[in-house]
Structure 1
Amino acid sequence: MIGNKPIKKHYISINKKFILSITFAFIWLIISIYFSLPWVHDLGVLTTPFIAVVIIAGIGYVPGLTNSFIIMSLLLDRQPKFKTIDPEVPITIIIACYNEEETIANTLSYIKNQIYDGEIKVIVVDNASTDQTDQRSIEAGEELELNLQVIYAKEPGKFNALNEALKVVETDYVITLDADTLLHKLAVKHVVSRILTAPADTCAVAGSVLVRNSRQNLLARLQEWEYFLGIASIKRMQGMYQGTLVAQGAFSLYTTDILKQVGGWPDAIGEDIVLTWKMLRENKRVYFEPMAVAFTEVPSKFIHFYRQKSRWARGMIEGLKAVKPWEQPIKYIRILTGINLLMPYLDIVYTFAWIPGLVLAFFGFFWIIGPMTLLVLPLALLQNYILYVYQKKVFKELNLSIRPRLFILFVILLRNSNVIVFR
């Protein structure tokens, strides 16, 4: 306060935030190139100058550029306060199920525990299950006194199940929830508050999906921090530019009219990715709400983990085929989706240069990974620290706890320093 007048906070427009972030990123790129010239020369002697530049760009230049852009964006990010703290609008939650008789009752119990003033309708879609998913859903709905409806989708495929449910949705907003995903008691309240606060042309809000089976084994613990820091930082940055690239089917809220306008969920491996990009093509906005938290099970076996990552990669390719980056009407979205065109290149360099170079460096051969590579690590460390501070604040407000795992965090730091996951 100055006298009796409140101090006005200076507002920075999205366009200015974008310009500041991209300027900072290119300054970092120029500095990186300057200091890496000896590295380029030495590696070029062993290979060729062209190959040296290709490898070093994939290891240092591109990751450094993207990480520095994310860092500045996160530093400039200020989530607008909710205009509506206690929303009362009715919503529908769709749960597509295939053989989920053992998990569906628990998932429904977390819906029952929601602190939400509006009516919650639940549609469980039995997608050609061979067990008693439908009967267990009905029993659980009656026990919990939920407004629950069970419908059937004979044709296999999650997109079929979701579209069958969409036909009977009568509320203005609809939430999709995976059958193994548990909602925090304030999740619905926060995700609805965000879309009611957002501009009128907002078509979806992605919730914050975290890992609930992290104690199962090392692979699950690695994914816990990947979700907690890596994926969350990307979504938060994308949300700031009003274009979260994936309103994931595991837990997201959509505007029913826009869903129907774009034809519902497409027949695709990554149906949520293609759907989001089609909505963005309609000049709509997609946000991310970090306070709307849900917990899902992640693969605990490597073969299942590999299949999941393969589905995500195929889903991203499907999205790029369905909606080209240059077809996006919002300039920020054109750039963010266009970055995905670099993912195959980064994955190849990571697999065939970064990992072998790390092994060689361990034995004292710094041909690929050397002291100059460390220029990227401070960026990844800073990015993770900034988001850790944000996430810690979110967890404190939601009365959740963070289990520190320094070794896991170090592995994620190495991973995030070279490969940016746009999931």
Structure 2
Amino acid sequence: MQPRLTPVDPFITSRRKKYISINKKFVFSHLISALWLVFSIFLSLPWLKDLSEIFTLPVSILIIGGIAYVPGYMNAFLVMSLLLDRQPVFKNQYPDKEVTLLVAAYNEEKSIFQTLSYVANQDYHGKIKVIVIDNRSTDNTYIELVRAQKELKLEIRVLKESRPGKFHALNKGLHHVTTEYVITLDADTLLHPSAVRFLVARMESSPEEVCAVAGSMLVRNSRENILTKIQEWDYYLGIASIKRLQGLYQGTLVAQGAFSLYKADAVRQVNGWPDAIGEDIVLTWRLLQKGWKVYYEPLAAAFTDVPANLSHFTKQRSRWARGMIEGLNEIKPWNQPQIYTKYLTGVNLIMPYLDMVYTFFWIPGLVLAFFGYFWIVGPMTLFVLPLTILSYGILYLYQKQYVFKNLNLKVRKNITGFMAFILFYQMIMSPISVWGYFQELFKLQRVWD
């Protein structure tokens, strides 16, 4: 999905509908999820009985719980929350407050000029001050930055950071930020021309206790191969749905460093970006622990290159899994001050359980099913699919009608990638996540690239 250098229509309309409080949405969604759980347990009794003859009842409950009960409950909660979600309208679509944009760059000679050119083409009415922190680059990154300073209509300041680590680079840049808002942007990420405007507009339209707004990440290089085609749907449907769910309950768990806006003073209050492999995850959780709220803006779209080979993909996603564990180790869910963030971060406590069940039971069970042994994977597991497809269908329509239509973008046909995403993506993701948990448990060497 290549960005188009065309600003969006300035008038995004929204039909007035009856307001439902967040508390009511939260309770009602859980009620429907509980009913679905009871229904799924009732249907699974014969399956549970047969599996108990092989693994004992407690182990069978753990297996089926990880394959059907918990995922079904979570999917039902997601579906109901998405159905009840109504994105608030902007108070002002054209804010003009001065903002600072931070870019940490390490050997980005191939992408940094293009990234900055997209920043220069923003339709934002305020001034954008750009600070690029060159973090020990050994290629021609600095030469490209000098070219950008000369050729682009953009105020660009270049700093150098000799200590390795993205968090060092961002914290150095933060020392030079004088504006109220600071935006982080990855050096290989391209912005839709209205991205900064919508990000700031969401912040300006939010309550005072909101300290960060996460942008919407989409895939730029989806045509490269089957792996990137699969990831296109993961970003478009999977990650976006989770972001919307978390944003609805005022606790987006990751204001991703690739493209997010923060109140600079709030970041300073938690001592900036931490020394962590998931520095954006830990930073966000620290902000939530302080009582701040974090929102998500689907119209603030940015386009990134995703890993095109399995090795790079494994390193990235295992790093994300490690980052989640880092956050849980530092800030326990029960120490979060708000009920919604207690719940949202608490969900992460069961993710290792789900990934391990999927890796060590569901995948072997699928292999056994091919040989006619339906002990673990059988007809009953198909009951999870309707909710999954329904949730993706709801988000697909939302993304197409509300996000892409308003951004003058078109959803590219990618049927092969979609089928592979539905059928095989979790079989790749869960083992990689388990590997990430293992790495963090034994404190193995951090790998970013």
Give the TM-score band, short-chain normalised: over 0.9
Shift of residue 53 of structure 1? 1.1
- 1:72 maps to 80
Matching of residue 186 in structure 1 with residue 194 in structure 2: yes
Shift of residue 47 of structure 1? 2.2
- Supply the distance in 1 between the matched residues of 2:179 and 2:327 (Cα, whole angstroms): 28
SS of residue paired to 1:151: strand
- Supply the distance in 1 between the matched residues of 2:169 and 2:369 (Cα, whole angstroms): 50
Asked whether the 8 Å contact 2:213–2:294 carries over to 1, the reply is: yes
- 1:102 maps to 110
Asked whether the 8 Å contact 2:230–2:425 carries over to 1, the reply is: no
- Supply the distance in 1 between the matched residues of 2:425 and 2:292 (Cα, whole angstroms): 29
Asked whether the 8 Å contact 1:93–1:123 carries over to 2, the reply is: yes
1:410 to 419, 430, 445: 419
Shift of residue 152 of structure 1? 0.8
Matching of residue 91 in structure 1 with residue 96 in structure 2: no
Shift of residue 229 of structure 1? 0.4
- Supply the distance in 2 between the matched residues of 1:82 and 1:267 (Cα, whole angstroms): 35
Once the two structures are superposed, the pairs formed by residues 209-248 of structure 1 within 5 Å of their partners are 209-248=217-256
Deviates more, 1:359-368 or 1:189-198: 359-368
1:157 to 140, 143, 165: 165
- 1:325 maps to 333
- 2:392 maps to 384
2:63 to 45, 55, 59: 55
- Supply the distance in 2 between the matched residues of 1:380 and 1:17 (Cα, whole angstroms): 20
- Supply the distance in 2 between the matched residues of 1:319 and 1:146 (Cα, whole angstroms): 36
Shift of residue 135 of structure 1? 2.5
Matching of residue 112 in structure 1 with residue 120 in structure 2: yes
Matching of residue 338 in structure 1 with residue 350 in structure 2: no
Matching of residue 197 in structure 1 with residue 193 in structure 2: no
Paired residues in the alignment total: 415
Asked whether the 8 Å contact 1:377–1:414 carries over to 2, the reply is: no
- 1:4 maps to none
- Supply the distance in 2 between the matched residues of 1:274 and 1:32 (Cα, whole angstroms): 35
Shift of residue 233 of structure 1? 0.2
SS of residue paired to 1:28: helix
- 1:398 maps to 407
SS of residue paired to 2:36: helix
**Amino acid aligned to 2:283:** L
Give a deviation string over 1:73-112, Cα, whole Å, max 9, x none.
Answer: 0000000000011110111110000011121101011001
**Amino acid aligned to 2:309:** K
- Supply the distance in 2 between the matched residues of 1:281 and 1:25 (Cα, whole angstroms): 27
Asked whether the 8 Å contact 2:100–2:131 carries over to 1, the reply is: yes
SS of residue paired to 2:214: strand
**Amino acid aligned to 2:157:** Q
- Supply the distance in 2 between the matched residues of 1:166 and 1:232 (Cα, whole angstroms): 28
Shift of residue 359 of structure 1? 2.5
Shift of residue 416 of structure 1? 7.7
Distance 1:51 1:252, change over 3 A: same
Shift of residue 130 of structure 1? 1.1
Asked whether the 8 Å contact 1:384–1:413 carries over to 2, the reply is: no
Asked whether the 8 Å contact 1:379–1:417 carries over to 2, the reply is: no
- 2:283 maps to 275
**Amino acid aligned to 2:197:** K
- 1:290 maps to 298
TM-score by length of 2: 0.90
Shift of residue 133 of structure 1? 1.3
TM-score by length of 1: 0.95
Matching of residue 207 in structure 1 with residue 215 in structure 2: yes
- Supply the distance in 1 between the matched residues of 2:426 and 2:343 (Cα, whole angstroms): 20
**Amino acid aligned to 1:154:** S
Asked whether the 8 Å contact 2:106–2:136 carries over to 1, the reply is: yes
Asked whether the 8 Å contact 1:116–1:186 carries over to 2, the reply is: yes
Asked whether the 8 Å contact 2:191–2:301 carries over to 1, the reply is: yes
Asked whether the 8 Å contact 1:204–1:252 carries over to 2, the reply is: yes
Q: Percent identity, please.
A: 59
Structure 1 gap ranges (5+): 1-6
Deviates more, 1:158-167 or 1:365-374: 365-374
**Amino acid aligned to 2:421:** I
Give a deviation string over 1:153-193, Cα, whole Å, max 9, x none.
Answer: 11110000000000000111011000010000110011110
Give a deviation string over 1:235-259, Cα, whole Å, max 9, x none.
Answer: 0000000000000000000001101
Shift of residue 8 of structure 1? 6.7
- Supply the distance in 2 between the matched residues of 1:344 and 1:373 (Cα, whole angstroms): 20
Matching of residue 127 in structure 1 with residue 138 in structure 2: no
**Amino acid aligned to 2:260:** S
Structure 2 gap ranges (5+): 1-14, 434-449
SS of residue paired to 2:405: helix
- 1:167 maps to 175
- Supply the distance in 1 between the matched residues of 2:426 and 2:394 (Cα, whole angstroms): 15
SS of residue paired to 1:287: strand
- 2:313 maps to 305
SS of residue paired to 1:59: helix
- Supply the distance in 1 between the matched residues of 2:27 and 2:176 (Cα, whole angstroms): 44
